[in-house]
Amino acid sequence: AQTVTQSQPEMSVQEAETVTLSCTYDTSESDYYLFWYKQPPSRQMILVIRQEAYKQQNATENRFSVNFQKAAKSFSLKISDSQLGDAAMYFCAYRGGNKLVFGAGTILRVKS
Amino acid sequence: GAGVSQSPSNKVTEKGKDVELRCDPISGHTALYWYRQSLGQGLEFLIYFQGNSAPDKSGLPSDRFSAERTGGSVSTLTIQRTQQEDSAVYLCASSLEIGAPTNEKLFFGSGTQLSVL
């Protein structure tokens, strides 16, 4: 079964600085997708960024980018120029078939 | 509606009672998921509906849990004889998916906070 591991329960970053959230996954599949979702206190999950495993180029979405290392099965999220509104729980997720499997999440705190 | 709607937003029940949680997905979305999120934890997959296919029930934790999706739209998650360990946020998500795997994003509701006393 696929598993997703987020080894950082909590991270802090100063406003305007850069932070990287870690994620590793385990799979034997070759075709899959990876995602980062953000969950603010409202509980509603919001897609931040996604990556196709067959693409070598790392995905970017404005201040958000990923470092996808397929051989190492690593998929970290970099947030540049952190803003107070980035404070939330961040979940890494994997999809190789029907199910979207989530990691345990990382709480990101942004200090002003 | 504009998004995925879940009701109720909060539910308090007594141990041993049955509860029903409702999810209205985005119109036209073929796929519907239920997840459970315990306090401070990640999302635990419960069940997945896709079109007219048999649902993937592999995540349901016990036979006290069941779900149905009527007419390919609204879904109800039922928990019978609730236990205190069932207390969690139950999240529903829908997606427009054709085939798997897919990079289609999931649209989530705001969840139902279930508290079993």
pLDDT in tens, A29-45: 888 999 999 999 888 89
Mutate to test the interface with B, among A98, A101, A102 (most CBs of B within 10 A): A98
Q: What tens digit of pLDDT does each residue of B58-84 get?
A: 999 999 999 999 887 999 999 999 999
Q: What are phi and psi of A46, to 5 degrees?
A: -125, 130
Q: What is the pLDDT of residue A31?
A: 86
Q: What is the pLDDT of residue B39?
A: 81
C-beta separation of B37 from B111 below 8 A: yes
- The first and second tokens of residue B97, run together, are 């998916």
Burial of B71 (0-12, 13-18, 19+ CB in 10 A): exposed
At residue B101 the predicted structure's pLDDT band, cuts being 50, 70 and 90, is low
How many CA atoms lie less than 13 Å away from A3 in the CB half-sphere?
5
C-beta separation of B32 from B101 below 8 A: no
Cross-chain Cβ contact A44/B45 below 8 Å:
no
Residue with the bigger pLDDT between B48 and B40: it is B48
Average pLDDT over residues A53-82: 95
Neighbour tally for A50: CB within 10 Å: 18
- The answer for B 41-60 residues in CB contact with A (under 8 A) is 41-43, 45, 48, 50, 56, 58-59
Any A CB within 8 A of B34 CB:
no
- The first and second tokens of residue A13, run together, are 């970053």
How many CA atoms lie less than 13 Å away from B28 in the CB half-sphere?
4
Residue with the bigger pLDDT between A95 and A12: it is A12
At residue B5 the predicted structure's pLDDT band, cuts being 50, 70 and 90, is very high
Any A CB within 8 A of B19 CB:
no
Cα separation, A68 vs A109, in Å, equals 24
Residue that has been written with the tokens 């870690």 in this structure: A22
At residue A106 the predicted structure's pLDDT band, cuts being 50, 70 and 90, is very high
Residue that has been written with the tokens 């119109």 in this structure: B27
C-beta separation of B26 from B76 below 8 A: no
Cross-chain Cβ contact B42/A31 below 8 Å:
no
Q: Least CB-CB distance to A99: which of B41, B45, B110?
A: B45
- Give the residue from A25, A13, A37 showing the smallest Cα distance to A112: A13
- DSSP helix/strand/coil, B116: strand
Residue with the bigger pLDDT between A63 and B2: it is A63
Instruction: Measure B42 CA to nearest chain A CA, in Å.
Output: 4
- DSSP helix/strand/coil, A46: strand
C-beta separation of A48 from A90 below 8 A: yes
C-beta separation of B30 from B50 below 8 A: yes
Q: Least CB-CB distance to A98: which of B48, B103, B109?
A: B48
Average pLDDT over residues A3-12: 95
Residue with the bigger pLDDT between A99 and B111: it is B111
Residue B100 has pLDDT above 70, yes or no: no
